[in-house]
Structure 1
Amino acid sequence: MTSLIRGLALLDVAELVADLGGDPDALMRSHGIDPAAAGDYNTFLPYPSVAAVIGDAAEELHCPDFGMRLARRQGIRMLGPVAVIIRNAETVEAAIEGVSRCLHHLAPPDSTALIREPQAAVFTYSTNLRRLAHHDQMIEKGLGIAMDAFQLMLGENFVPLRVTVQHRRIAPMQNYREMFGCHVEFEREVNSVHLPLHSLNQPIRGRDAAALALAENYLVGIRPDLAVADHVRDMTRRLLVVNHASLVAVARAMSLHPRVLQRRLAESGTSFEEILDDVRRDMAWDLSATGMQISQIATMLGYSETSSYTRACRRWYGESPRQLRARRRGAPESASTRPSPARGAAWPTPPTSPSPPS
């Protein structure tokens, strides 16, 4: 199980690969990506597969600055609705903060931040996937897109004070100077673009407040990190079967740091604990229909004590595990033995279809 990124990450990649003499369709299919998904905002792709396409293109086509070249072609178009915030925020600082707040809609593992120092404002960019192959190409592509955004907001002649990256140099220095217009420092602590402090207060020319409101309403209206929450739900169910469904285990399986995963889930309005509880509830519903012993069901759900499962079952369905099992097995119960709903809860009603009740 891997983290995902929208298909916009591969916007224009086919054209660039073809211009360099490669076969873009074969390249993408070799990594399990449908070429039609490249550039599609509504499609999510495995992040490592996208990185592999870009990294392999750089190697196979002898183009070490492939990530930066792709960034030039994509520009902020790659950011989809988040680009509207950049074009229409009130100031440069507001635009950066908007990107930092909404970037997870496009790439849940990615994050940006703005740090104020005495002499400069530092924009940082990171990808939180660990052991990601071709991480360097993805970072250089991301910083290249940031440069397009800054030149849009601050003028096409904008040049950063400094640019730093965490990885070693992978392309000729001239390529970096052409991209950023300044000296780039390698093997530093962060990936960053340094701006003059006063530039943060510069207003965005030609901004449209109505367009900004529409973009923000749209981004608020969609559920952020839906794909990540679904990933966690699926992985939790898989690991629960082997009694190993912890936050740390799920995060490791998704190549994320536990704190990063917690933050992404919080941004989507949920938590690992809530997802785990939902998965256990749904599994209890399914397992109860099999006639399995109550103690076995409790173990399958990851409870060390049957009493813990009993309390949870009463909270979920307003009845004991034995009563739930009897109901799911279709055994009729007399009115005197039918369970009462939990205090303040509605009667638990069997669903009309085999799927678990919501």
Structure 2
Amino acid sequence: MGPLIRGTALLNFQALVSSLGGDGKALLRARGIDPAAAGDYDAFLSSAAAAAVVADAAEAMNCSDFGMRLAREQGVQILGPVAVIIRNAETVGSAIDGVSRFLHNIAPTDHVELIRGSEQAVFTLTTSVRQLARHDQWVEKGLGISLDAFRLMLGVDFVPVRVTMQHRRISPNSSYWEMFGCPVEFEAELNSVHLPHRVVNQTILGRDAAALALAERYLAGIGPDQEAADHVRDLTRRLLVVNQASLAAAARAMALHPRVLQRRLADSGTTFEEILDDVRKELAWQLSATGMQVSQIASALGYSEQSSYTRACRRWYDESPRQLRARRRGQGTSDER
């Protein structure tokens, strides 16, 4: 099925389709989505199917701005407890930092980041949903939700400096102007919302520090069915076999942006480099008992130079690869250390 997303990603989908004269349930079922799950925070959907059904609805209803319309119908409430962080963080900048940290609990394929410049700040949205070419509507929905978040923090009259999108224009310019109230550029490098730099440090009025703490504690306790660190450990073992053990390769296999994976591992108290080192240590122990040559073990562990393996082996076991091999061969196949 691939990465899962909270059912709130399709909140009000059926109502919008119905208002346009369509059958939302039929569209959902055609993508294998239970209509009862669409809009339910406690339900999980295939992220690829959710994005695809939004594109399907735009085509079926001949509604090129369907994604932006759906964003208006949903608002920031689809983010669940992440929306509590947006409402109650100390500043706009800290709110975005909080969203960046916890968004994977709601939408693991999406990643946001705030790039602070001297005159402007740039809020970026990246999605790793498969078949991205079919998901222009999904990106426009995401940017629409982002705008709603900024207006929640800065007031309903807030207007960005400009908005950029990586895909080509798919709706009339008037639709984008109505949505964002500012110039929108297409086929750009990033999906982004440009903000005056001064707003980053603006205090969010009416915030509730206690509500913020509760939301952060709740989100910090949410984990995927399989902990990210365990998943990455399994992937790394397999990737080493084909000499492709890297953060980028692991993130690609999990359909995540590398920065998202880094954050998820950080939440688990580790890093990709630490996991890779630990997997190599375990494999070195196992392979040293097989009779493989030291050079072959170094290669199997993904080291381009045998000297790198030698240094690592001394750090792990306080002995050279040859000494480890001799000790392990003397122990036979025992796993006692």
Q: TM above 0.5, one fold? A: yes
79-88 vs 218-227, which moves further: 218-227
Three-state SS of the structure 1 residue aligned to 2:126 is strand
What percent identity do the matched residue pairs reach? Answer: 64
Partner residue, 2:23: 23
**Aligned-pair CA distance for 1:262:** 4.4
Partner residue, 2:164: 164
2:269 matches 1:269: yes
207-216 vs 219-228, which moves further: 219-228
Letter in 1 for 2:169: R
**Aligned-pair CA distance for 1:43:** 2.9
Separation of aligned partners in 1, 2:260 and 2:96: 20
Letter in 2 for 1:14: Q
Three-state SS of the structure 1 residue aligned to 2:114 is strand
Question: TM-score, normalized by length of structure 2?
Answer: 0.75
Partner residue, 2:100: 100
Question: TM-score, normalized by length of structure 1?
Answer: 0.71
Letter in 2 for 1:90: E
Does structure 2 conserve the Cα–Cα contact (< 8 Å) formed by 1:225 and 1:264? no
88-97 vs 259-268, which moves further: 259-268
How many residue pairs get matched? 313
Three-state SS of the structure 1 residue aligned to 2:5 is strand
Separation of aligned partners in 2, 1:60 and 1:44: 24
Letter in 2 for 1:55: A
**Aligned-pair CA distance for 1:166:** 1.3
**Aligned-pair CA distance for 1:224:** 6.7
Partner residue, 2:59: 59
Partner residue, 2:211: 211
Residue by residue over 1:21-65, the C-alpha shift from the partner in whole angstroms, topping out at 9 and shown as x without a partner, is 222222122222222221222333222111111111111111111
2:7 matches 1:7: yes
**Aligned-pair CA distance for 1:196:** 2.0
Structure 2 residues without counterparts, runs of 5 or longer? 281-289, 292-296, 303-312, 318-327
228-237 vs 140-149, which moves further: 228-237
Distance 1:172 1:229, change over 3 A: farther
**Aligned-pair CA distance for 1:123:** 1.5
- Summarize the alignment of residues 159-198 of structure 1 with structure 2, pairs less than 5 Å apart: 159-198=159-198
Residue by residue over 1:85-137, the C-alpha shift from the partner in whole angstroms, topping out at 9 and shown as x without a partner, is 11111222222222122212212221112222232222111113464243321
Three-state SS of the structure 2 residue aligned to 1:200 is helix
Distance 1:255 1:86, change over 3 A: closer
Separation of aligned partners in 2, 1:258 and 1:207: 32
Separation of aligned partners in 2, 1:239 and 1:104: 24
Does structure 2 conserve the Cα–Cα contact (< 8 Å) formed by 1:51 and 1:133? no
Q: Which has the larger radius of gyration?
A: 1
Aligned Cα root-mean-square deviation (Å): 4.0
Three-state SS of the structure 2 residue aligned to 1:5 is strand
Distance 1:249 1:325, change over 3 A: same
Three-state SS of the structure 1 residue aligned to 2:132 is coil
Letter in 2 for 1:9: A
Letter in 2 for 1:122: V
- Summarize the alignment of residues 1-358 of structure 1 with structure 2, pairs less than 5 Å apart: 2-129=2-129, 131-223=131-223, 232=232, 246-247=245-246, 250-256=250-256, 261-271=261-271
Separation of aligned partners in 1, 2:230 and 2:26: 29
Does structure 1 conserve the Cα–Cα contact (< 8 Å) formed by 2:86 and 2:149? yes
Does structure 2 conserve the Cα–Cα contact (< 8 Å) formed by 1:52 and 1:133? no
Separation of aligned partners in 2, 1:231 and 1:24: 35
Separation of aligned partners in 2, 1:43 and 1:235: 27
Separation of aligned partners in 2, 1:227 and 1:29: 30
Does structure 1 conserve the Cα–Cα contact (< 8 Å) formed by 2:52 and 2:135? no
Structure 1 residues without counterparts, runs of 5 or longer? 281-293, 305-310, 328-338, 342-358
Three-state SS of the structure 1 residue aligned to 2:159 is coil
Does structure 1 conserve the Cα–Cα contact (< 8 Å) formed by 2:120 and 2:194? yes
Does structure 1 conserve the Cα–Cα contact (< 8 Å) formed by 2:33 and 2:49? yes
122-131 vs 230-239, which moves further: 230-239
Separation of aligned partners in 2, 1:56 and 1:239: 36
Three-state SS of the structure 2 residue aligned to 1:123 is strand
Three-state SS of the structure 2 residue aligned to 1:35 is coil
Three-state SS of the structure 2 residue aligned to 1:36 is coil
**Aligned-pair CA distance for 1:234:** 7.1
Letter in 2 for 1:137: Q
Distance 1:155 1:246, change over 3 A: same
Separation of aligned partners in 2, 1:30 and 1:151: 35
**Aligned-pair CA distance for 1:169:** 0.4
**Aligned-pair CA distance for 1:237:** 8.3
